[in-house]
């Protein structure tokens, strides 16, 4: 089998940590990058990169003036794994707009469109948005449709971290479907979830809405197998409700792994003041219900994506544990679905949705991306306390015919390629 991580933020890790141990150790052979509106290109050296762009773009070596330049860098210095990259709308806004707290005007839309065209010509697999986040929250549906116009007929996809995964999650789904219909392109609902106490159980409604939309358009979705999410450290009190763990803090690296409430108590300040002192930072938020996570994972069209953020010593355990956890915990132990279904959700389903040709199934003439694993032993061992642990049970991982992971460690081989998008929708 062959695993595609449907949702990653590995754009720069591919260049800085080309062994990609945190993914190779799980049996991942291809990563889809550029998610949630965030990509390292196109950015000038002086383009401001507010959070969450800063989660992926954290240094002068992490920005590229064009998508083509980024892909050239990946080709010059291949990683262990293949990559199917998306271009991020939030990055485009940062690059093309003087202020991010309003919708784009006609000139800015034209400039962003030109970058989308350049990215698609260079080989991007589609466009992602992250209207949930402050730098893109003011973008209207019309802005997004206009910016993404070059996607129509390109064979690329529209992937989105939706505007709202809480009370207005159904409205967000309808917005996503509308964008897909207006452009005539497949949409991918990223890391689908419903958050907040009062929305517990509402995945029954969201999956029904997705089912209804799938009768008339292409809708895909991915999910990670945890009840906590992880992203930038928010400074909005509404988004700080519930338990918050610090994953990474630039000025206060010693606080990684600590509870925000404990930090505030120790510093004798309010939670919001502690947040200010910790920024730039990322955090882990406990905000979902296990029953919703299981319902979404078990939904037939759901792909597996880690949404891992390869940053700091205490990342969310999904970075190292997502795929073994689905195989070992959700399939074998909890019997949420058979092993074959678990494998399909990480391989053929994902390769088909993103148009990865010659990948995702084992066949004569297909690329030799293979994983040998022990179905009785595979399980995640990464935890919130010890998140950087390789999973047992993954024996050999082969990318383009070369072993990249074997006997519990990386082999040093770098056979990864920038994959090519299918050319028609």
Stretch that binds Cu ion, among 20-28, 66-74, 307-315, 346-354 (CB under 5 A): 307-315
Residue nearest Cu ion, Cβ-based = 36
* Interatomic CA distance for residues 241 and 293, integer angstroms: 19
DSSP one-letter string for 182-240:
HHT--EEETT----SGGGTTTHHHHHHHHHHHHTTS-EEEEE-S-SEEEEE----GGGG
Q: State the nearest-atom distance from the C-beta of 6 to Cu ion, in Å.
A: 10
Q: Which does 314 bind (CB under 5 to 8 A by kind): Cu ion, Zn ion, none?
A: none
Q: Which does 394 bind (CB under 5 to 8 A by kind): Cu ion, Zn ion, none?
A: none
CB contact at 8 A, 290 and 240: no
Q: State the nearest-atom distance from the C-beta of 164 to Cu ion, in Å.
A: 15
Provide CB contacts within 8 A for 416, sequence distance 6+.
14, 18, 20, 78, 79, 80, 81, 82, 83, 399, 400
Q: What is the dihedral of CA 5, 11, 12, 13, to 10 degrees?
A: 0
Q: Closer CB to Zn ion, residue 80 or residue 319?
A: 319
Pull the structure tokens for residue 293: 């996570």
Q: Closer CB to Zn ion, residue 36 or residue 342?
A: 36
3-state SS of the chain: helix, strand, coil percent to 5?
Answer: 35, 15, 45
Q: Which does 322 bind (CB under 5 to 8 A by kind): Cu ion, Zn ion, none?
A: none
CB atoms within 10 A of CB 237: 11
Q: State the nearest-atom distance from the C-beta of 424 to Zn ion, in Å.
A: 28
Q: Closer CB to Zn ion, residue 190 or residue 411?
A: 190
> Among 29, 35, 199, 411, which residue interacts with Cu ion (rule: CB under 5 A)?
35
Contacts with Zn ion in 293-312 (CB under 5 A)? none
Q: State the nearest-atom distance from the C-beta of 94 to Cu ion, in Å.
A: 17
From 259, 315, 318, 314, select the one nearest 293 (Cα to Cα).
318
* Interatomic CA distance for residues 277 and 212, integer angstroms: 46
Q: Which does 58 bind (CB under 5 to 8 A by kind): Zn ion, Cu ion, none?
A: none
Q: Closer CB to Cu ion, residue 35 or residue 131?
A: 35
Sign of CA dihedral 238, 164, 304, 202: positive
From 84, 83, 168, 157, select the one nearest 126 (Cα to Cα).
157
> Among 93, 161, 192, 202, which residue interacts with Zn ion (rule: CB under 5 A)?
161
CA count, 13 A, side-chain hemisphere, 171: 8
**Residue 23 contacts Zn ion per CB under 5 A:** no
From 16, 18, 26, select the one nearest 321 (Cα to Cα).
26
Q: Which does 39 bind (CB under 5 to 8 A by kind): Cu ion, Zn ion, none?
A: none
Q: Closer CB to Zn ion, residue 169 or residue 371?
A: 169
Stretch that binds Cu ion, among 28-36, 74-82, 135-143, 144-152 (CB under 5 A): 28-36
Q: Closer CB to Cu ion, residue 148 or residue 319?
A: 319
CB atoms within 10 A of CB 263: 20
User: Beta-strand (E) ranges in 26-102?
Assistant: 28-33, 82-85, 87-88
Stretch that binds Zn ion, among 30-38, 174-182, 308-316, 340-348 (CB under 5 A): 30-38
Q: Closer CB to Cu ion, residue 10 or residue 307?
A: 307
Q: Closer CB to Cu ion, residue 5 or residue 307?
A: 307
Q: State the nearest-atom distance from the C-beta of 32 to Zn ion, in Å.
A: 12
> Among 289, 292, 307, 380, which residue interacts with Cu ion (rule: CB under 5 A)?
307
Q: Closer CB to Zn ion, residue 129 or residue 353?
A: 129
How many distinct helices (H) and strands (E) make up the chain?
16, 16
Contacts with Zn ion in 36-55 (CB under 5 A)? 36
- Give the interface size with Zn ion as a residue count (CB under 5 A): 2
**Residue 11 contacts Cu ion per CB under 5 A:** no
CB contact at 8 A, 54 and 96: no
Q: What Å distances lie between residue 300 and 76, 287, 380, CA to CA? A: 38, 24, 22
Stretch that binds Cu ion, among 202-210, 250-258, 304-312, 407-415 (CB under 5 A): 304-312
**Residue 36 contacts Cu ion per CB under 5 A:** yes
Stretch that binds Cu ion, among 29-37, 219-227, 375-383, 400-408 (CB under 5 A): 29-37
Stretch that binds Cu ion, among 51-59, 202-210, 300-308, 316-324 (CB under 5 A): 300-308
> Kindly report the CA angle at 167 between 161 and 171, in degrees rounded to 5?
60
Q: State the nearest-atom distance from the C-beta of 3 to Cu ion, in Å.
A: 18
Provide CB contacts within 8 A for 424, sequence distance 6+.
153, 155
Binding residues vs Cu ion (CB under 5 A): 35-36, 307
Binding residues vs Zn ion (CB under 5 A): 36, 161
């Amino acid at each position: 089998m062959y695993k595609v991580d449907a949702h990653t933020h590995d754009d720069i890790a591919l260049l800085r940590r080309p062994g990609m141990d945190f993914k190779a150790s799980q049996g991942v052979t291809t990563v889809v990058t550029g998610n949630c509106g965030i990509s390292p290109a196109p950015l000038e050296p002086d383009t401001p990169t507010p959070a969450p762009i800063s989660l992926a773009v954290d240094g002068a070596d992490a920005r590229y003036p064009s998508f083509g330049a980024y892909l050239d860098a990946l080709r010059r210095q291949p990683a262990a794994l293949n990559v199917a990259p998306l271009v991020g709308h939030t990055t485009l806004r940062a690059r093309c707009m003087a202020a991010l707290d309003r919708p784009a005007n006609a000139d800015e839309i034209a400039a962003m469109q030109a970058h989308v065209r350049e990215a698609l010509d260079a080989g991007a697999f589609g466009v992602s948005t992250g209207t949930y986040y402050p730098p893109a929250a003011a973008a209207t549906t019309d802005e997004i449709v206009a910016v993404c116009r070059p996607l129509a007929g390109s064979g690329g996809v529209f992937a989105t971290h939706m505007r709202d995964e809480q009370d207005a999650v159904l409205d967000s789904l309808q917005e996503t479907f509308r964008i897909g219909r207006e452009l005539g392109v497949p949409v991918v609902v990223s890391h689908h979830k419903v958050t907040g106490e009062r929305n517990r159980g509402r995945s029954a409604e969201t999956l029904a809405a997705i089912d209804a939309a799938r009768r008339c358009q292409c809708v895909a979705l991915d999910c990670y197998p945890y009840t906590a999410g992880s992203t930038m450290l928010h400074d909005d009190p509404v988004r700080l409700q519930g338990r918050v763990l610090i994953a990474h803090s630039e000025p206060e690296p010693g606080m990684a792994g600590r509870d925000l409430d404990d930090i505030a108590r120790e510093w004798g300040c309010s939670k919001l003041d502690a947040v200010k002192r910790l920024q730039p930072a990322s955090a882990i938020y406990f905000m979902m219900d296990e029953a919703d996570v299981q319902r979404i994972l078990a939904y037939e069209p759901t792909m597996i994506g880690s949404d891992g953020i390869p940053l700091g010593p205490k990342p969310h355990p999904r970075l190292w544990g997502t795929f073994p956890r689905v195989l070992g915990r959700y399939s074998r132990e909890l019997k949420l679905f058979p092993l074959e279904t678990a494998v399909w959700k990480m391989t053929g389903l994902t390769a088909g949705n993103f148009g990865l040709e010659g990948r995702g199934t084992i066949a004569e003439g297909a690329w030799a991306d293979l994983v040998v694993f022990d179905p009785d032993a595979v399980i995640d061992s990464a935890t919130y306390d010890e998140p950087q642990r390789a999973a047992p049970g993954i024996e050999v991982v082969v990318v383009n015919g070369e072993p990249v992971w074997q006997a519990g460690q990386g082999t040093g081989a770098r056979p990864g390629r920038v994959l090519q998008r299918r050319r028609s929708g």
